[in-house]
């Protein structure tokens, strides 16, 4: 005989914390594009804050940029700490239709090199460039035209607002289909410095915010008798055209007689499609098991600013592999108003070698969380994850190895305030 599990008591911390994807782990993935707020029962609202602090340190290539890697100078910690928010609200119109609005910051990057290495402009860099470095005389001109001490720096931000309409089906309303529009804004800045980038040393791009539309669709199934919920959600690609200003070092422009000219351009960026699978089931009336799986085809993603790519014949950013993310969790209710959870996770990354602007090949994670019901409707959750980052070599778009990063780790912390009225 099946016993109906008290789902209201099993809304555990594991389910309320954000999926702490890591900017450098796979492409530009950041929030995990979670839709769990819409899948909650009754009227539900949440506000989530996440903070990540990771150490991504390595060494440059003594050969500057080459098919062969020889350990060079320290890069310092290139990963800047970052935080982001997620909000969601959902309510049932009746026993068939539900509506919701979700906000998150799905994609982004924050990276900066510092110190004495091939990603920072230095005295005498032009003299160090030789034929064995597999760069041309143009690189010498570029290096000579860059101010000393300037550092490679990249910042990408995105913001997403999703509206969802769901319709429950079946005699017991166990099935639900849902869909809705997605509005997304993207902006970014890039500064390439140091002889690792060859003739692109001194390149700058400022990309103004652009807003474009996409869509979301999904299917879910629930069986309250055993606290089972399963959902499959697809998000479409979104095409952006960002107004940008691109500029090169004076040395590069002079050496090519203006072929690498500064000026305005349109940068086309297509943020990738994705598929999320969310699953939970009760093991007994006080214990819940969960699983999350996410797929993103980063191998199809490129950023190709027209002036940069026209001059170099290469994309600014690209990846070789698709991302897979898997997270398994277990939650336990210890008291009527208090529960705890634990999780383990794995992220495949987007290939090794990978971009020198995010040299991490996935990660493993271990997490702990807790949830406290302050009243019948209000709850607060908090938790953290330890991230063991995968070793990776940083490559340039032409495939040459420019750096090596090993034995790095990081921490993610999250806090959430939620309201639910069933």
62-98 tens-digit pLDDT = 999 889 999 999 999 998 888 889 999 999 999 999 9
What is the distance between the alpha carbons of residues 240 and 184, in angstroms, rounded to a whole number? 9
Residue 313 included in any domain: yes
Residue 61 included in any domain: yes
* Domain span at 345: 25-421
What is the average pLDDT across 398-412?
Answer: 93
| Tens digits of residue pLDDT in 225-282 | 898 999 999 999 999 999 999 999 888 877 777 778 899 999 999 999 999 999 999 9
Q: Which residues of 113-127 are buried (b: 16+ CB within 10 A; e: fewer)?
A: bbeebbbbbbeebbe
**pLDDT for position 5:** 47
Residue 85 included in any domain: yes
**pLDDT for position 256:** 76
How many domains, the chain? Answer: 1
Residue 114 included in any domain: yes
Q: Which residues of 286-322 are buried (b: 16+ CB within 10 A; e: fewer)?
A: bbbebebebbbbbbebbbbbebbbebbeebbbbbebb
Angle at 244 between CA 243 and CA 250, to 5 degrees: 160
Residue 20 included in any domain: no
> pLDDT confidence of 223, banded at 50, 70, 90?
very high
Other CB atoms within a 10 A radius of the CB of residue 268 amount to 15
**At 368, is the secondary structure helix, strand, or coil?**
strand
At 241, list the tokens.
Answer: 């055209």
In the chain, % of residues over pLDDT 90: 66
Residue 3 included in any domain: no
Residue 196 included in any domain: yes
Residue 4 included in any domain: no
Asked if residue 359 has pLDDT above 80, the reply is yes
**pLDDT for position 132:** 52
What is the distance between the alpha carbons of residues 45 and 16, in angstroms, rounded to a whole number? 11
| Tens digits of residue pLDDT in 2-49 | 444 444 444 443 444 443 333 345 788 888 899 999 999 999 999 999
Give the residue with greater pLDDT, 346 vs 24.
Answer: 346
**348 φ, ψ to 5°?**
-75, -20
Whether residue 288 contacts residue 10, with contact meaning beta carbons closer than 8 Å, is answered with yes
Residue 182 belongs to a domain with what CATH number? 2.40.160.60
Across 128-137, 198-207, 213-222, 389-398, least confident range: 128-137
Sheet holding 71-77, edge to edge: 71-77, 57-61, 401-405, 392-395, 354-355
């Amino acid at each position: 005989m099946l016993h109906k599990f008290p789902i209201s008591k099993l809304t555990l911390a594991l389910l309320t914390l954000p999926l702490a994807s890591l900017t450098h782990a796979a492409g530009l993935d950041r929030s995990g594009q979670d839709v769990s707020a819409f899948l909650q029962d009754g009227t539900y609202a949440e506000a989530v804050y996440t903070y990540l602090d990771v150490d991504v340190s390595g060494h440059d290539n003594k050969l500057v940029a080459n098919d062969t890697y020889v350990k060079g100078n320290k890069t310092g910690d290139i990963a800047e700490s970052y935080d982001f928010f997620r909000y969601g609200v959902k309510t049932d119109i009746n026993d068939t239709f539900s509506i919701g609005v979700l906000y998150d910051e799905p994609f982004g990057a924050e990276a900066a090199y510092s110190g004495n290495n091939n990603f920072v402009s230095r005295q005498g860099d032009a003299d160090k460039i030789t034929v064995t470095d597999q760069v041309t005389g143009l690189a010498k001109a570029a290096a000579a035209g860059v101010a000393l001490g300037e550092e490679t720096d990249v910042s990408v931000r995105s913001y997403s607002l999703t509206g969802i309409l769901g319709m429950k089906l079946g005699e017991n309303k166990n099935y639900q289909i849902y869909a809705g529009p997605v509005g997304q804004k993207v902006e970014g800045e890039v500064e390439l410095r140091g002889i690792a980038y060859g003739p692109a040393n001194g390149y700058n791009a400022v990309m103004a915010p652009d807003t474009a539309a996409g869509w979301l669709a999904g299917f879910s199934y629930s069986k309250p008798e055993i606290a089972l919920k399963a959902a499959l959600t697809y998000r479409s690609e979104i095409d952006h055209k960002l107004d940008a200003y691109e500029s090169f070092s004076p040395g590069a422009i002079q050496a090519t007689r203006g072929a690498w000219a500064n000026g305005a351009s349109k940068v086309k960026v297509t943020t990738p499609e994705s598929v999320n699978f969310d699953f939970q089931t009760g093991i007994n009336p006080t214990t819940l098991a969960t699983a999350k799986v996410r797929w993103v085809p980063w191998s199809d993603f490129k950023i190709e600013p027209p002036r940069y790519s026209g001059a170099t014949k290469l994309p600014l950013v690209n990846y070789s592999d698709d991302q897979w993310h898997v997270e398994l969790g277990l939650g336990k209710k210890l008291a009527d108003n208090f529960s705890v959870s634990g999780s383990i996770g794995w992220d495949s990354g987007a290939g090794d070698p990978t971009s020198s602007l995010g040299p991490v090949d996935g990660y493993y994670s271990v997490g702990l969380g807790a949830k406290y019901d302050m009243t019948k409707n209000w709850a607060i959750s908090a938790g953290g994850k330890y991230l063991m980052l995968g070793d990776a070599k940083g490559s340039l778009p032409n495939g040459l190895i420019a750096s090596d990063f090993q034995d790095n780790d990081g921490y993610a912390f999250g806090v959430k305030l939620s309201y639910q009225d069933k």
